């Protein structure tokens, strides 16, 4: 294969817009990007290897540290996988509390993702607004679970802490604040002409490509796929909710999906708070030997854990498939290819909300 390549442009590993180290290697003709490749390996830790042969009590904390941004969902999917093996049941109150914490985590993560995008396209005002709003969500998370990040709130058979009456009221108010503030910011985003220029019809990702690369989460939903793992989750099925879907498949759509999902999350939290009835937050049970495969919807998409335990409750084998694996691949090979300027490479990359720590484990 012979191609005319003007410049090969490596971006990274340490770059002002990247939160995490990775290296994008672009081949460009003029400003047009012909091809892109992503080089990883800067945060490889080998978590799956460490997990093998350890009791679940330990693996639970390791699972959370696969990704610090969406730690709640890693905790949740791992524990639900273990519950599935051992047939441990869950009280209603605990199930709803799990959903509340998970949705708070999603709000926090989506706001961070959109902050990074706005920051990358140099709209710092909006970025700072979003980052400040994220602190509100972090406060709620801290008040409920006792920690800002890596809170290990979810344990087999229930959750760690109960939600007091006063906290529930406070949470309701917080959620209302998030809603009203974010409405303002979304209007800013929708009407900003700079934003439209930098985001609309940039980094197009079609439905067919999404299917081929198995893209998941907001990245896929911005390209018209309806897949959302929450639809298969027993607790979410009791709640009223339909996935947010856009069909444009450009940067703008991906950011808007996330904004809309924040509103959806606040609605879900409100609904859970309404349904919350007094009761126990913990059941009992014993972890037994078995194998399970369980998926949950992380902020970035489908997260799958494949767990094998033995009769002492040790994890004998574990495979983790995080959403970023699919999304980063899709981003490198479909979205970045064909963007018109090198400046769009970084913004397109950030719009798919990549999380390298997840990707490499």
Partner 1 sequence: MVEYLYERDLSQMKYIIVTSPLHETVLAELAEHYGLGRQAIRRKMIEECDMSFLENIPARYEVWKAEDSPRDPMERQLGMRLLTVCIPMLSPEEMKAVEASVRSQISEGIPEAEAYEAGMEAIREMIRR
Partner 2 sequence: MSRLQDLKNTVRSKSIHVCYVNVGSCNGCDIEILACLAPRYDIEQYGIYVHNNPREADVLLITGAFSPQWEDKLMELWEKIPEPKVAIAIGNCPISGCVFNREGSYVDPPVRKHIPIGAEVPGCPPRPTEILQAVLSLAPVVFKDYEGGNE
Residue ranges that bind partner 1, judged by CB under 8 A: 5, 8, 10, 25, 27, 37-41, 44, 46, 48, 211-214, 306, 317-321, 325-326, 328-329, 332-333, 359-361
> 68 vs 279, which CB is nearer to ligand SF4?
68
Angle between helices 251-275 and 92-120 (to 10 degrees): 160
CB atoms within 10 A of CB 93: 20
| Residue number with the smallest Cβ distance to ligand SF4 | 65
Q: Which of 89, 33, 335 is nearest to 205 (CA)?
A: 335
CB atoms within 10 A of CB 84: 16
* 319 binds ligand SF4 per the rule CB under 6 A: no
Which spans of this chain sit near partner 2 (rule: CB under 8 A)? 13-21, 41-47, 49-50, 52, 61-62, 65-69, 71, 112, 128, 131-132, 134-135, 138, 148-150, 355, 357-358
Distance CA 42, CA 30 (A): 29
The residue within the footprint of ligand SF4, chosen from 15, 23, 54, 65 (CB under 6 A), is: 65
Binding partner of 357, given ligand SF4, partner 2, partner 1, none, CB within 5-8 angstroms per partner class: partner 2
Q: In what order do the strands lie in the sheet with 290-298?
A: 54-55, 314-321, 301-309, 290-298
Binding partner of 284, given partner 2, ligand SF4, partner 1, none, CB within 5-8 angstroms per partner class: none
Distance CA 57, CA 219 (A): 33
* Measured torsion, CA atoms of residues 192, 194, 199, 200, in degrees rounded to the nearest 10: 70
Smallest separation, CB 209 to partner 1 (Å): 11
Distance CA 211, CA 203 (A): 16
> 126 vs 215, which CB is nearer to partner 1?
215
Binding partner of 194, given partner 2, partner 1, ligand SF4, none, CB within 5-8 angstroms per partner class: none
Structure token pair of residue 246:
């856009």
> 37 vs 139, which CB is nearer to partner 1?
37
Distance CA 325, CA 67 (A): 13
Smallest separation, CB 284 to partner 1 (Å): 30
Distance CA 16, CA 116 (A): 11
Report how many residues bind ligand SF4 under the rule CB under 6 A. 3
* 19 binds ligand SF4 per the rule CB under 6 A: no
- DSSP secondary structure letter of residue 232: G
List the x/- string, 144-163, binding to ligand SF4 by CB under 6 A. Answer: ------x-------------
List the x/- string, 193-232, binding to ligand SF4 by CB under 6 A. Answer: ----------------------------------------
Smallest separation, CB 180 to partner 1 (Å): 39
Binding partner of 8, given ligand SF4, partner 1, partner 2, none, CB within 5-8 angstroms per partner class: partner 1
Smallest separation, CB 160 to partner 1 (Å): 29
Distance CA 347, CA 353 (A): 10
* 68 binds ligand SF4 per the rule CB under 6 A: yes
Binding partner of 134, given partner 2, ligand SF4, partner 1, none, CB within 5-8 angstroms per partner class: partner 2
Distance CA 125, CA 140 (A): 24
- The H or E element that residue 78 is part of is helix 71-86
Smallest separation, CB 48 to partner 1 (Å): 6
Q: Beta partners for 8?
A: 27
> 143 vs 214, which CB is nearer to partner 1?
214
> 187 vs 291, which CB is nearer to partner 1?
291
Please write down the long-range contacts of 316-322, taking CB distance under 8 Å and 24 or more positions apart: 316/52, 316/53, 317/52, 318/48, 318/51, 318/52, 318/59, 319/48, 320/47, 320/48, 320/63, 320/66, 320/361, 322/66, 322/67, 322/298, 322/355, 322/358, 322/359, 322/361
Task: Give contact residues for ligand SF4 (rule: CB under 6 A).
Answer: 65, 68, 150
């Amino acid at each position: 294969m012979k191609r005319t390549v003007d410049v090969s442009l490596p971006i990274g590993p340490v770059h002002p817009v990247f939160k995490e180290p990775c290296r994008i290697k672009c081949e460009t003709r003029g400003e047009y990007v012909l091809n892109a490749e992503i080089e990883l390996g800067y945060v490889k830790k080998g978590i799956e290897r460490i997990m093998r042969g350890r009791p679940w009590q330990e693996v639970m904390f390791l699972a959370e540290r696969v990704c610090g941004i969406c730690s709640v969902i890693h905790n949740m999917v791992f524990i639900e996988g273990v519950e599935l093996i051992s047939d441990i049941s869950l009280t209603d109150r605990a199930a709803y509390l799990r959903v509340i914490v998970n949705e708070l985590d999603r709000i926090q993560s989506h706001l961070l993702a959109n902050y990074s995008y706005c920051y990358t396209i140099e709209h710092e005002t909006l970025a700072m607004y979003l980052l400040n709003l994220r602190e509100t969500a972090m406060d709620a998370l801290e008040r409920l679970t006792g920690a800002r990040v890596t809170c290990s709130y979810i344990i087999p058979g229930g959750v760690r802490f109960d939600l007091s009456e006063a906290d529930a009221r406070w949470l309701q108010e917080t959620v209302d604040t998030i809603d009203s503030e974010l409405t303002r910011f979304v209007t800013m985003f929708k009407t900003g002409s700079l934003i439209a220029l930098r985001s609309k019809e940039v980094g197009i990702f079609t439905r067919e490509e999404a299917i081929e690369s198995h893209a998941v989460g907001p990245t896929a939903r911005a390209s018209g796929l309806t897949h959302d793992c929450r639809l298969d989750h027993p607790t979410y099925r009791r709640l009223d909710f339909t996935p947010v879907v856009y069909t444009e498949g450009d940067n703008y759509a991906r950011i808007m999906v996330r904004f809309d999902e924040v509103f959806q999350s606040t609605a879900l939290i409100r609904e859970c708070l309404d349904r919350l009835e007094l009761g126990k937050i913990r059941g009992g049970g014993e972890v037994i030997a078995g194998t399970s495969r369980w998926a949950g919807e992380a902020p970035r998409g489908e997260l799958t854990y494949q767990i094998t335990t033995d009769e002492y409750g040790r994890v004998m084998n574990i495979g983790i498939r995080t959403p970023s694996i699919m999304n980063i691949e899709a981003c490198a090979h479909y979205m970045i290819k064909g963007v018109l300027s090198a400046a769009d490479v970084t913004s397109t990359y950030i719009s798919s909300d990549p999380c390298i720590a997840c990707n490499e484990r």
